[in-house]
Amino acid sequence: MTQMNMIEAIRSGLDVMMDRDPAVVMMGEDIGYFGGVFRCTDGLQRKYGEHRVIDAPIAEGGIIGAAIGMGLNGLRPVPEIQFADYIYPGFDQVVSELARIRYRSCGEFFSPVTIRTPCGGGIRGGQTHSQSPEAIFAHVSGILTVMPSNPYDAKGLLISSIESDDPVIFFEPKRIYNGPFDGDPEKPAKSWASHPRGEVPEGHYTVPLGKAEIVREGTELTIITYGTLVHVAQAAAEETGVDCEIVDIRTIAPLDVDTLADSVNKTGRCVIAHEATRFGGFGAEIAARIQKECFYNLEAPIGRIAGWDTPYPHAFEWQYFPGKKRLAAGIRSMMEVE
Amino acid sequence: MTQMNMIEAIRSGLDVMMDRDPAVVMMGEDIGYFGGVFRCTDGLQRKYGEHRVIDAPIAEGGIIGAAIGMGLNGLRPVPEIQFADYIYPGFDQVVSELARIRYRSCGEFFSPVTIRTPCGGGIRGGQTHSQSPEAIFAHVSGILTVMPSNPYDAKGLLISSIESDDPVIFFEPKRIYNGPFDGDPEKPAKSWASHPRGEVPEGHYTVPLGKAEIVREGTELTIITYGTLVHVAQAAAEETGVDCEIVDIRTIAPLDVDTLADSVNKTGRCVIAHEATRFGGFGAEIAARIQKECFYNLEAPIGRIAGWDTPYPHAFEWQYFPGKKRLAAGIRSMMEVE
Amino acid sequence: MADKKSRLHIPHPTARPGDKPDFSYLDLSPAGAVDKPSIDSRTRDIEYLSSGLVRVLDDDHQATGPWAPDLDPGKLQIALRWMMLNRVFDKRMWQIQRQGRISFYMEALGEEAVSVAQGMALRPGDMCFPSYRNQALYMYRGMSLVDMMCQCLSNTRDMCKGRQLPIMYHSAKANMFSISGNLATQYPHAVGWAMASAIKGEDHIAAAWLGDGATAEADFHHAITFAAVYQAPVILNIVNNQWAISTFQGFAGGERRPFAARGLGLGIPGIRVDGNDFLAIYATTLWAADRARRGGGPTMIELVTYRGGAHSTSDDPSKYRPKDEWQDFPLGDPVERLKQHLILGGQWSEEQHEKLEEELTAEVTAAWKEAQQYGTMTEGPFLDPSTMFDDVYAEVPRHLQSQRRRMMEVEGVNGEGSES
Amino acid sequence: MADKKSRLHIPHPTARPGDKPDFSYLDLSPAGAVDKPSIDSRTRDIEYLSSGLVRVLDDDHQATGPWAPDLDPGKLQIALRWMMLNRVFDKRMWQIQRQGRISFYMEALGEEAVSVAQGMALRPGDMCFPSYRNQALYMYRGMSLVDMMCQCLSNTRDMCKGRQLPIMYHSAKANMFSISGNLATQYPHAVGWAMASAIKGEDHIAAAWLGDGATAEADFHHAITFAAVYQAPVILNIVNNQWAISTFQGFAGGERRPFAARGLGLGIPGIRVDGNDFLAIYATTLWAADRARRGGGPTMIELVTYRGGAHSTSDDPSKYRPKDEWQDFPLGDPVERLKQHLILGGQWSEEQHEKLEEELTAEVTAAWKEAQQYGTMTEGPFLDPSTMFDDVYAEVPRHLQSQRRRMMEVEGVNGEGSES
Ligand SMILES: Cc1ncc(C[n+]2csc(CCOP(=O)(O)OP(=O)(O)O)c2C)c(N)n1
Ligand SMILES: Cc1ncc(C[n+]2csc(CCOP(=O)(O)OP(=O)(O)O)c2C)c(N)n1
Ligand SMILES: [Mg+2]
Ligand SMILES: [Mg+2]
């Protein structure tokens, strides 16, 4: 076990897989010689060569399209999209091709691509370096959507994703690359060094896809969340003193409904939290399922705390971000419901 | 008043707007000389000239990108995307530009584009001519998303969309272009001729954006739906004998929550129906809101009847399509809940 | 605004319904006129290949010039056979669609030489990323007519298990990729496949096809950019059949420079070839394949041809172009030209031709008879609809298992339709 | 697989950190060497413009050759002033970012001639679609330094009301479009804008800028396709500063043909111009603008320059290129070259230059002082956060009104945070 931050854990996951499987190749903007703008691929080109860690033209659609073709020819490509905000030019290749090839060819062809991309705000990136577009991928059948919340899961889920024969969109919440962030930008940044999930095995291990994790047990209210908000939820729970159970869904699609429903059936109250815009966000799908599965046990309507239905503004990112205050207020007001 | 089918109503709406406002221009694949693969623009190039009804290269991203530029220069472009399944190559221009220009320039720039595109299945189009991608647009702040269910609304909503200074994605459910379809493919096709909403004024009128309509009053259960499913819902309601209230939301974003909530608060039961894949579909957002607004009046969990979470298969479109049988079964089982 | 005259340029085809067909816009070279360079040539030294028109068969059906390939008559007879089969097959399937027995069809009328000649010039280990007008590639690479018909019928033997529109074949065994409904998406796949081949140090190449209209799509640009940057061993074919549904090739930017020139700005050589000249296509494809195999990188090939029929069974070309336009197409009919070439050489005769046509017709009829035994749209056996939940993922996940159960219940008598 | 050697071509820059800079890959022409054709020329007759390098200022700083524009010294002094202002401004803003007083910055070091020369060659009614390195275009078109600084500060006078990253200016009044974070998206906008101008029968043209790296994006292809098809009156500029963050221009396909050639396949003429030569840029831009205005359609201009600084304040170029590479760049420094040209003509002196630099520094200092009065990141006045709900739509819809109320409540003391 070593202490790693999320960048190191992701790099370690890539390293392990490149080492084990010569079919694993990477391609992306600035990922090769330079090692990536967030350094996730630092050193890997030196180690595995520029034919396996490939600098790419600035064409997200081309990166994904070519990666699909590589996957069809026996490779296991792990392209990087520099920011999730820039995945849209490749959206057609994801929706119409990556997600569909196995289906339309009845399994004769498939392309086991894992697209890594940093998402989320809180780094003063403005509206084009802060988005969390997981909901639009979750709606597309044929791909898996994953978002880890800590170094241990990041590496384990990444390895599972690369090993999976299904295509995966792997979102990396960049706000927590360097440390768990509890939603209070005024406080000094914490590092992963002192966090139990910053302890990461150096070798190969997996965290299963499609399995949520209860990161805090509680009896009064369930918070269902993922990514950066897992840490915000923990802080908000502490602050309110409410005995919250916190579930980190980890895989967005397919969703581990049972773990979620069991928790809410136990606590009777549910708050869903994510950073993306609320309207049509992934919280809607969770809420729709939970009200169905837990109808007779719900003591209050399910609440959603999310980014506002606006773009992510540069100056007001902390007003936009569903931080500790907003979450704590949501928890408190839900506890007032009889 | 004339009887029009939905194609004629849309064409009439375009005609009225092109006549009233010289800034209205159209651009799309095969829309000009040929009049569109669904004939929605038939005759308009002859009438308004090839500089206002413009045949375009096969590049959906280019069509939307150029339309945005035209809109920035005082025109009011109404591009057509031949099938909603082909809007994805233009997704980045919609999400990152069309939806954002007003916001990022604080209103100094905006582009009043209305993108028309036929959606939905039931015409043996296979998985790439049958999709209903409204949910992924609904999640994007800064654009409106509209889907009419009949000729009268189609024309009135289209005129409102074109006149709106906000960008609109205007989905046209192609299965009901020629007649209201009740979800039973075995029955002879009905035409709009005998339908009250096939009566369409020839001139200018509007149907307001953002307003749902109660298309059938009832007391026992509310069906919230839009597009083709409005007609399926009516047939299913008849078949079950349950006194359903049916709400046609018409505008997907922004959603007329009040009308929906009032209805469910009255009936105490709610089924949401749409053709798109259920997981992460727009029904999730509706369900999430309804459980919130109507929590204390709900007598049963909200149900969602939707396309399965698979691509839309050519041979099994009627097994995929959430037809009368599936809806009726959903209504019945919900009425069994005490 | 209304009082000023628009200065926008709008491309116009040379003829519309009622007009006399006019192909004066097509730049032609006589057969044999275009030099054949060495495959080591630098792009800038062989730019002439993109503006001339490589032709081998002259007006008298003689093979002539430096590109004339060394192919024995037996091979040419085989080629003729595949082209004829393509045509006979298409004709029958078109009728079958008109009878309402399949939902949709697309024919390759007038473009048969493209698939057959290119199929023959490639090696079995090369990977093809076809468009929907390359059915003869599937045939040539071993897909049976019955299998193709069963795909169009979405029946129990359909390789696509009813999931795809007719004509959207695939065959991993034949190294033929699955056809997509979305134009141009296969182009970057071919480049990525070729990159992988290069990474693995193999000498298989990839080839991709799309239409003149589809060159406007983003994926065309992505593909040529990646192909140029990494010098991928790939052949990028543009089948310029003059039309994209109702839109003539000027709307794809073909008014000023041939499509073959599209990659020049990235250093990709382009060859403009007579797309109805079997020998010229074969020769240019072989040249490009050799070049790619020896590390010379991508080549773009524009195949100048004409869409002899409607775009698809949903289309009516009499609405937008002269009815008999094809008859005036200066590059003629590919089947007729190869036939006459063989006759000229004494290796074929009208009688043999007629007889072969009858044989092929009988073959297609027999295939159709057999195909129907696996089910039609109206008569069983029918595909099991529960298979629609397979292959969305490598394994059927729990939520699809439960949706499958629900679907079976609803389709059954005592259905109940709430969500799973 | 592991035992075979990869055949994939990987582009390599000529020098990496520690290496001697090596610009031998750059094709250069001497000043005056490239002919100036008439604006009526057909694309195929002026292809040479895309491979040569249009230069006016020779090594002795003399203006020479057919492209030498007729510009009086007063105008050149003004141009020099704007270029120097750009540089002084950038330097200060960079420092300010380093002090943590703005969140981000991007400078145009070494590329100042592009914006100033092109700005001067266009008319005020022409519409500009800039990239993030065209700050001098905004300056030249009348945006005050204070306004630009306030934007970077996201303060109460920020034209973007705090919504955009620093440097993402806009000005409708100045016909300067709003900068997007997404590369290349502005390219089709410019073409659409120009199409609208043509449709309306106006003679305004549009101009767009993007970098060498961004040419790989789909929107580049869309833009050139639409521009070619409709002969839109637009100038499509590619600022080839050799680098895209850490990636040299070979990864954008620049190894084999100049970027200026990218439109040739569609019939769009391309001009390759010395991007550090004010006079050459001015002359070529004027030529292209005339051509567009008279109905000649689009022109592509590649401006060959060098990114003198880091990509942005988040970047560290010493990681991927020789530290002093810029010093060896054969086209020199645009400011220095115009300065020497003026000195040579007796219209400028080192003293004047020094004095002007001092003046400009003072001007920037004064502007910074003023800008801070409208607020900084740490000190008020602050923007009202409730404005973040404005301008999502033309009018604030009900759901955003209620989210705004909720936000104000939560930000207040007795917040409650459930959904609206
Ligand atoms: C992305 C996308 N946009 C639009 C269509 C609709 N469409 C199908 S074929 C076609 C015309 C294609 O023309 P071309 O590329 O010239 O090929 P051809 O049919 O002539 O062989 C169009 C517009 C599509 N299938 N995919
Ligand atoms: C769609 C998109 N992809 C990636 C990025 C990240 N990015 C910002 S600038 C840049 C490099 C651009 O290089 P170039 O086009 O040469 O312009 P330069 O910075 O050299 O002026 C990249 C990759 C982006 N902003 N948008
Ligand atoms: Mg075509
Ligand atoms: Mg650059």
The SS3 of residue B221 is strand
Residues of B in contact with D163 (CB under 8 A): 103-104, 106
Q: Sort C37 into a burial class: Cβ within 10 Å, 0-12 / 13-18 / 19+.
A: middle
For C354-400, how does the pLDDT look when each residue is reduced to its tens digit (9 = 90+)? 999 999 999 999 999 999 999 998 999 999 999 999 999 999 999 99
Handedness of CA A323, A326, A330, A331 (dihedral sign): positive
**Inter-chain residue contact A288 with B292, CB threshold 8 Å:** no
Which residues, given as ranges, of chain A have pLDDT below 50? none
For B327, the domain range is 213-336
Query: Which chains share 3+ C-beta pairs under 8 angstroms with B?
Result: A, C, D
pLDDT band at D420 (very low <50, low <70, confident <90, very high): very low
- List all residues whose CB is within 6 A of at least one atom of ligand 2: A 29, 58, 82, 86, 89; D 133, 181-183, 210-214, 239, 241, 243-245, 307, 311
Does A308 fall in a domain? Answer: yes
Where would I find the beta strands (DSSP E) of B174-322?
Answer: 199-200, 213-216, 221-225, 244-248, 251-253, 270-277, 303-307
Q: Which of these three, A162, A178, A200, is where a domain ends?
A: A200
Whether pLDDT at C414 is above 70 = no
Q: How many domains does chain A have?
A: 2
Angle at alpha carbon of residue B215, lines to B214 and B219, rounded to 5°? 65
Best mutation site among D183, D215, D311 for ligand 2 pocket (most ligand atoms within 8 Å of CB)? D183
Whether pLDDT at C420 is above 90 = no
Q: What is the CATH number of the domain that holds B312?
A: 3.40.50.920
Provide the CATH topology of domain D43-309+323-372: Rossmann fold (3.40.50)
Whether pLDDT at D325 is above 70 = yes
Instruction: State whether A158 and A88 are in the same domain.
Output: yes
Residue among D127, D226, D392 minimizing CB distance to B66: D226
Q: What tokens does C75 get?
A: 């091979």
Q: Which of these three, B153, B176, B200, is where a domain ends?
A: B200
> What does the alpha-carbon distance between residue C292 and residue C285 come to, in Å, rounded to a whole number?
10
Burial profile A64-95: b = 16 or more Cβ within 10 angstroms, e = fewer: bbbbbbbbbbebbbbbbbbbbbbbbbbbbbbb
Q: What tokens does C234 get?
A: 């790939």
pLDDT band at D89 (very low <50, low <70, confident <90, very high): very high
**In this predicted structure, what is the pLDDT of residue D417?**
38
Task: Identify the CA nearest to A287 among candidates A253, A261, A262.
Answer: A261
**In this predicted structure, what is the pLDDT of residue B202?**
97
Instruction: State whether A118 and A250 are in the same domain.
Output: no
**In this predicted structure, what is the pLDDT of residue C412?**
75
**In this predicted structure, what is the pLDDT of residue A338?**
67
Enzyme catalytic residues of B: 129
For C167-200, how does the pLDDT look when each residue is reduced to its tens digit (9 = 90+)? 999 999 999 999 999 999 999 999 999 999 999 9
Q: Which of these three, B161, B176, B200, is where a domain ends?
A: B200
Domain boundaries of chain C, sorted by first residue: 43-309+323-372, 385-420
**In this predicted structure, what is the pLDDT of residue D101?**
96
The SS3 of residue B308 is coil
Instruction: State whether B165 and B311 are in the same domain.
Output: no
**Inter-chain residue contact C196 with A69, CB threshold 8 Å:** yes
Instruction: State whether A173 and A227 are in the same domain.
Output: no
Residue position matching structure tokens 């070593």:
A2
Angle at alpha carbon of residue B92, lines to B91 and B97, rounded to 5°? 115
Cα–Cα distances in Å, from D45 out to B181, D32, D177, D233, D315? 59, 19, 34, 20, 42
For D173-232, how does the pLDDT look when each residue is reduced to its tens digit (9 = 90+)? 999 999 999 999 999 999 999 999 999 999 999 999 999 999 999 999 999 999 999 999
Q: Which ligand is nearest to the CA of C215?
A: 1
**In this predicted structure, what is the pLDDT of residue B186?**
87
Instruction: State whether A189 and A258 are in the same domain.
Output: no
Q: What tokens does B117 get?
A: 């595109």
Whether pLDDT at C416 is above 70 = no
**In this predicted structure, what is the pLDDT of residue C3?**
59
Instruction: State whether B217 and B195 are in the same domain.
Output: no
**In this predicted structure, what is the pLDDT of residue A55?**
98
> What does the alpha-carbon distance between residue B64 and residue B84 come to, in Å, rounded to a whole number?
13
Q: Which of A42, A316, A318 to mutate to test the interface with D (most CBs of D within 10 A)?
A: A316
- ipTM value of the model? 0.98
> What does the alpha-carbon distance between residue D384 and residue A305 come to, in Å, rounded to a whole number?
22
**In this predicted structure, what is the pLDDT of residue D413?**
40
> What does the alpha-carbon distance between residue A51 and residue D7 come to, in Å, rounded to a whole number?
9
For D249-299, how does the pLDDT look when each residue is reduced to its tens digit (9 = 90+)? 999 999 999 999 999 999 999 999 999 999 999 999 999 999 999 999 999
Average pLDDT, chain D: 96
**Inter-chain residue contact D11 with C262, CB threshold 8 Å:** no
CA B71 to ligand 4 centroid distance, Å? 29
For D28-69, how does the pLDDT look when each residue is reduced to its tens digit (9 = 90+)? 999 999 999 999 999 889 999 999 999 999 999 999 999 999
Best mutation site among C240, C245, C312, C325 for ligand 1 pocket (most ligand atoms within 8 Å of CB)? C245
The SS3 of residue A248 is strand
**In this predicted structure, what is the pLDDT of residue D414?**
39
**In this predicted structure, what is the pLDDT of residue B338?**
67
Closest Cα in chain A, distance from residue D369 (Å): 20
Instruction: State whether B145 and B284 are in the same domain.
Output: no
Whether pLDDT at C61 is above 90 = yes
pLDDT band at D3 (very low <50, low <70, confident <90, very high): low
pTM over 0.90: yes
Residues whose CB falls within 8 Å of the CB of residue B80, separated by 6 or more in sequence, listed in order: B26, B27, B28, B29, B31, B36, B40, B41, B115, B116, B117
- End-to-end alpha-carbon separation of chain A, Å? 46
Query: What region does C175 belong to: left with phi over 0, alpha with psi -120 to 50, or beta?
Result: left
Answer for the pair B241, B271: CB distance below 8 angstroms, yes or no.
no
The percent of residues above 70 in pLDDT, for chain C, comes to 97
Instruction: State whether A185 and A248 are in the same domain.
Output: no
Instruction: State whether A169 and A91 are in the same domain.
Output: yes
* Cα pseudo-dihedral D403, D406, D411, D415, rounded to 10: -160
C245 lines ligand 1 (CB under 6 A): yes
Those of residues 390-409 in D touching chain B at CB distance below 8 A are 390-394, 397-399
Residue of A nearest to D397 (CA): A309
Q: Sort A198 into a burial class: Cβ within 10 Å, 0-12 / 13-18 / 19+.
A: buried
Instruction: State whether B227 and B175 are in the same domain.
Output: no
Instruction: State whether B219 and B141 are in the same domain.
Output: no
Long-range pairs for D370-375 at CB < 8 Å and ≥24 separation?
Answer: D370/D146, D371/D145, D371/D146, D371/D149, D371/D150, D371/D153, D371/D155, D371/D157, D372/D153, D372/D155, D374/D150, D374/D153, D374/D155, D374/D156, D374/D157, D374/D158, D375/D153, D375/D155, D375/D156, D375/D157
